[in-house]
Structure 1
Amino acid sequence: MEWLSAENVVAVGTAVLGIAASGLMLWYERRVPRRKRVGYRVQMDSPIGDDARSGRAGSRLGLFDETPGMADATLVLLRLENDGSQGITREDYTGPEPHGLTAVFVDRTIRGVSVTQPTDADHLMDHFTAERGFGYEGNRLRIPRVPLNRGDHFKLLVLLSGGDVGRGIRLTGGLRDGEVHPNRSATPDDKPPLFSRAARTITIMLTVCVVTLAAIVVVRDDDPPPVGCETGTLTLTGSTAFAPVLREAADKYEHDCEGSRITVDPHGSAAGIRDLAAAGARAGKGSPAVVALSDGPKPGGLPQLRENRVAVSVFALVVNDAVPLRNLSTDAVRRLFRGEVANWRRLGGPDLPVVLVGRDSGSGTRQVFQRRVLGGRAETAASSVDCVHKDDVSAPVVRCELDSTDQVLAQVARTRGAIGYSELNLAAEAKGVHRLDLDGEPASVDALEHGTSAYPYREIEYAYTYGNPPADSLASSFLTYLTRGNGQDVIRTHGHVPCWTPEGLKLCA
C-alpha cells in the first residue's frame, strides 16, 4: 500500500500525539484543580563553630567567637516560595494559630532569625511581626501568614546551636486547596521548572516526531519512477563493449522499478544475435524476454529481429606504452593487420616485434573495425593461442583472438609491441596502453557531436528484439528507459552519444 510509507506513518503518529496531548491538557485543566503550593528548600546548612562531623575545631573572630554557645553553632538559610499556580492570601492558611507555618529544626536550638526578601517585595516585611505570630521557641520557628503572589519568595537566615549540620528540617502547616512541600534546586536561587515533567516529555516526543518527519522528507529520493515501469525478468546479451552501459542502466532500472530483475550476459554481438534468434525460435509465438545489443547492424537472413537504434559508439586503436607512436595512417593500420609489418621500426617506432591482439569472429567491435577501418577486409589469420608464441611458424606476425574487450586491453597492456582495439571509454580508463589517432583524427565523442571530425572507427549500437515485444513487457519498458528515459544519461556517462538527442539523431540516421 503506497500510503503506508515511513513519512506517512510518522506524520499520522505526530498528528495523533498532538491531538492526544491537546486533549490531555484540556482534561487536566478541567478535571485537576489548580492548586496552591508553598515550597521550601534549605539553601545553606553550614557550621560556624567546630565541625562536629569531622572532629575539627573551627576558627572564629569577633562576635562569632565572643558570643556564648558559638562552639556548636550552625547557620541555615531556608527559602519559602509560592511555586503553585495561584496566589496565596492570609486566609488560605488553615492552622488555628495566629501564625501560618512552623519550621522545625531537629536536635537544634534557635538562637536568632533574620528575614530577607527580594527588592521588589518590600511589602512582605510588614507581616513579620510578633503580633502576627512571628517568633521562635526552642527548635520551632513560627512563620506568619504571609500572602504570596505566584513566584514570590522570602528567605529566613536562622542561627542555631546544639546540633550538627544535616539534621532534619521540616515545614508544617496547611493551605486551603493546596499543600506545603519541600522542593529541590541545584543552586540557591534557581526557580522551579517552567514546565512539568509531563509537559516536557510530550514536547520532546513531538519534537522528535517532527524532526524525524523532516529528515525523511529531506533525505528520501523524490525522483519519480520512470514512466511505464514493468515487472518480470529480462536478459541483456550481445556486445561486450556496450556491457558497462547495460549493467549500470539495468541496476538503475531495478532500483527505480521494484519487481524487475535484469540479467546482463554479454559474450559478443554475433553470439548475442544468435542467442536471440534461438530463443525466439524456441518460444514459437510471442517475443522472448531477451534483448541483444550489437555493434553495428545484424547480418542478413534474420527478418524476425526488430532493431532499435540506441547510441553511437566510438572505438579506438590501442597500443602498448612501449610503442611511443601517437598517430597512424589508415594505410599503415591496414598493412599492420594484413601482417605486412612485423616490426615497429618500419613505421618509425622502436625495434619491437608487432603483436596483433584482436577479437574473435563474433565480435561486433572487430566487425566494425574491419568494415570501417580495414575497408571490409578481414584481419590476417590467428597464429597464436597465448598471444606470445607463434603456433604457425610460417605466419608473418603473432596474432591472437580473445573473447572480450577487457581481455584485449589487459593483453595489450602486458605485451610489449602489442596493438589492439577497444571501445573508447574503456580504452581511456585502461593502464599501460594509449590510444592512436587515425589519419590525424583523434577518437573524440565531442568532435563527432559537433560535426568537426571525420574519425572513421565508430558505429551505431543496435538493440534487437525477436519481433515486437508487448507494450507492457519489461523488454519494451527497458528499451524505452534506455533510449528515451534516464538511460540516456548512463549512455552519455560512458562516452557514447544517445541516438534520441538532437546530435544523436543526425549521427544515427
Structure 2
Amino acid sequence: MQWLSAENLIAVATAVLGIVASGVMLWFERRVPRRKRIGYRVQMDNPIGDDARSGRLNRRLGLFDETPGMTDATLVLLRVENDGSQGIDRDDYTGPEPHGLTAVFTDRTIRGVSVTQPSDTSHLMDHFTAGRGFGYEGNTLRVPRVPLNRGDHFKLLVLLSGGDVGSEIRLTGGLRDGEVHPNRSATPDDTPPLFGRAARLITIMLTVCVVTLAAIVVAQDDTRPPIGCESGRLTLIGSTAFAPVLREAADKYERDCAEDETEIVVDTRGSTSGIRELAAAGEQAEHGSPPVVALSDGPKPSGMPELRENRVAVSVFALVVNDSVRLPDDNLSTADVRRLFSGEITNWRELGGPDLQVRLVSRDADSGTRQVLQRRVLGRGEIANSSLDCVHKDDPSIDFVRCELDSTDQVLSTVAELSGAIGYSELNLAGRVEGVRRLSLDGDPPSVDAIEHGTSDYPYREIEYAYTYGSPPADSLASSFLTYLTRGNGQDVTRTHGHVPCYTPEGLTLCAG
C-alpha cells in the first residue's frame, strides 16, 4: 500500500509518541504533587597538608609546620541549592533541631567553615549566625534554616583534618513535601538538569524520530512530477527575453518526467518571428495542432484567429545605459525617452549628463521587447537604422547613431562596451551584466515587487503570452508543458527569473489588463 512508506510510518509514530508524551506530562502535572528539593554536591575535596600530592609544595612553603594535627588537612567546597520547582521557607525545614540541615564529614574533623555565595543571593548571609544554629563540632556541621528561592544556592568552604580525601560526605535534614538529595554534577558551577530522566528520554526519542523523518525527506527526491507527464518532442520559439525561463523550465520538466521519452527544444529568435513560425507550422500540419509553442512579449498581431493564447506572466523591462552615462537620479522622463529614440537628442549633456554622443542600441523588428517599448513608452515606432556596427554612421549627413541587434544578450553586451550607449532589455537579464545601469522612468524604478504590490505605475512592462496553433490535445506534450509552466512547478521558475506568474493572486489582477 502506498501510504505504508518509511516516512509515513515514522511520521505516524512521532505523532503518536507526541500525543502519549503530552498526555503523560499532563497527568504528571495534575496527579503528581510538585516537590520541594534541596540538592547538594561536593565541588572540591583537595589535600592541603603534608600528603603525597601536596606535601612537597607545603614543605617548601612551611605551611602547617607549627599547626598541630594539620599535616593531613583538606579543603572541601560543598554547594547547597534549591533545585526543585518551588521556593523553600524557614518553616519548610521539619527537623527537631533549631538548625535545618546537618553535614557529616566521615573520619574527618572540622577546623573551620566559610560561607560563600554569588552576589545575587547576598541576603542569605544574614541566616548564618550562631543564634540560628550555625556551627560545627567534630565531624558535624550544622546548617541554619536558610530560605531558598527556586534556583538559589550557597557554598560552604570547610577546612578539615584527619581522614582521607574522598571520604563520605552526607547532608541530611527534613523538608516538608520534599527531600534532600545529592546531585551528580561534577563541574563546579553546572546547574542540575531542568527536566527529569523520563522527560529527557521522551525528548530524545521525539528528536530521533523527527531527525530520521527529515533525513528521509531530504534524501529522497520528493519533487512531484508535472500533472500528466507526456512523451514526445516539443519546440519552444519566440521571445529571447523569456528564453532563460523556457530553458530552465524545459530542463526541469524533462527531469521530472524522466520515465517518459520527452524532448523539449528551445529555439528563440524574437516574438514576431516566433508567431510567424508557429502560423506557418500550423498551416503545414496535416493533423491538428503542431508540437510548437511560441512565446511573445505582448499580444499577437491581429488577423491570426487560429492562434490560441495562454497568459503566462507579467514581464518587466528596463532602459539601460553604459556606465559612462551619469544622469540626475538615474532617471528619464517619458518625454526625454521619446526625444532620444526619435533622434532629436544626440548628446547626453542636453539631459544633464556627460558630453558624450548618444548611441541607440535597439532590437530588430521581430523583437517583442522593442514592440513593448514602442507600445508602452514611445507611442510610435523607432527611427530608421543608421549604423551597422553601433559606432559609425553609415550616412554622415544623419545626426544620430542607431543600430539593431538580434537578441537581448547582444544588446546588453554592446551597451556595456560602448561609451554613451543606451538600449533596453528584460529587467532580470539587465541586472546580471556588468557595465550597464538601469534607469527609472518618470521617477518610478523598474521593480517587479513594486508592480506586483500595486505601488508603482512603471510603464515599461507587458504580459508574456504563450501561443499554440489551435488547441493541442489534452494528452499532448504541448498541453502538459503549458500546464506545468502556467499552473505547476514552472511558476517557481518564472518567479525566480523576475517575472510575476499570471496564475497567482497578484498575477491574476495584473494579467487581466
Give distance in 2, aligned partners of 1:439 and 1:430. 24
- For the aligned residue pairs, the C-alpha RMSD in angstroms reads 2.2
Gaps of 5+ in 2: 7-213
| SS at 2:439 equivalent | strand
Please report how far the alpha carbon of residue 278 of structure 1 lies from its aligned counterpart in structure 2 after TM superposition.
0.7
**Residue of 328, 332, 340 corresponding to 2:344:** 340
Alpha carbons of structure 1 residues 218 and 436: separation in structure 2 relative to 1, 3 Å: closer
Q: How does 1:482-493 map to 2 (within 5 A)?
A: 482-493=485-496
Structure 1 partner of 2:454: 451
User: 2:225 is matched with which residue?
Assistant: 225
CA distance in 1, matches of 2:494, 2:420: 32
> What amino acid is the match of 1:346?
E
Query: Could you tell me which residue of structure 1 aligns to residue 53 of structure 2?
Result: none
Shift of 1:227: 1.3
Letter in 2 for 1:229: C
1:218/1:335 Cα in 2 relative to 1: closer, same or farther (>3 Å)? closer
Change (3 A) 1:334 1:289: same
1:494 equivalent to 2:502? Answer no
Give me the whole-angstrom Cα distance separating, in 1, the residues matched to 2:227 and 2:464: 23
Distance 1:217 1:315 in 2: 39
SS across alignment from 1:468: coil
Alignment of 1:375-454 (within 5 A): 375=379, 377-454=380-457
Work out which of the two has the higher radius of gyration on C-alpha atoms and give 1 or 2: 1
Aligned to 1:14: none
1:294 to 293, 296, 319: 296
Q: Deviations over 1:51-92 (max 9, x none)?
A: xxxxxxxxxxxxxxxxxxxxxxxxxxxxxxxxxxxxxxxxxx
Equivalent residue for 1:311? 313
Q: Which amino acid aligns with 1:245?
A: V
**What SS class does the counterpart of residue 316 from structure 1 fall into?**
strand
CA distance in 2: counterparts of 1:218 and 1:382, whole angstroms = 55
Listed one character per residue, the Cα deviations across residues 458-505 of structure 1 (whole Å, up to 9, x for unaligned) are 000000000000000000000000000000000000000000000000
| Residue in 2 that maps onto 1:164 | none
Match of 1:361 among 336, 345, 365: 365
1:503 partner amino acid:
E
Q: Which residue identity does 1:456 align to in structure 2?
A: P
SS at match of 1:373: helix
Shift of the 215–283 alpha-carbon distance from structure 1 to 2, 3 Å rule, reads: same
Query: CA separation of 1:336/1:470 partners in 2, compared to 1, >3 Å: closer, same or farther?
Result: same
Match of 1:322 among 318, 324, 327: 324
Distance 1:284 1:230 in 2: 21
Q: Distance in 1 between the 2:465 and 2:229 partners?
A: 22
Matched AA of 1:451: G
AA aligned to 1:341 is: I
Measure the CA separation in 1 of the matches of 2:333 and 2:457.
13
Q: Gaps (5+ residues) in structure 1? A: 8-213
Instruction: For 1:313 and 1:241, locate their aligned partners in 2 and report how far apart those are by CA, in whole Å.
Output: 9
Name the residue aligned to 2:464. Answer: 461
C-alpha separation between the residues in 2 aligned to 1:478 and 1:386? 39
**Deviation digits for residues 3-26 of structure 1 (CA, Å, limit 9, x no counterpart):** 9xxx9xxxxxxxxxxxxxxxxxxx
Q: CA deviation at 1:218?
A: 5.2
Distance 1:300 1:215 in 2: 55
Q: TM-score w.r.t. structure 1 length?
A: 0.57
Structure 1 position 215, deviation (Å): 8.2
**Cα deviations across residues 274-331 of structure 1 (Å, max 9, x unaligned)?**
0101110110331000000000000011110000000000000000000012000000
Q: Give yes or no for the alignment of 1:269 onto 2:271.
A: yes
Residues 260 and 331 of structure 1: CA distance in aligned 2, closer, same or farther (over 3 Å): same
- Aligned partners of 2:409 and 2:359: how far apart in 1? 17
Aligned to 2:267, the other structure's residue is in SS state: strand
Match of 1:420, as an amino acid? G
2:481 to 478, 481, 484: 478
Shift of 1:217: 7.2
Deviation, 1:390, is 0.5
Which AA in structure 1 matches 2:239?
S
Q: Any idea what SS the aligned residue of 2:233 has? A: strand
Distance in 2 between residues matched to 1:226 and 1:279, nearest whole Å: 27
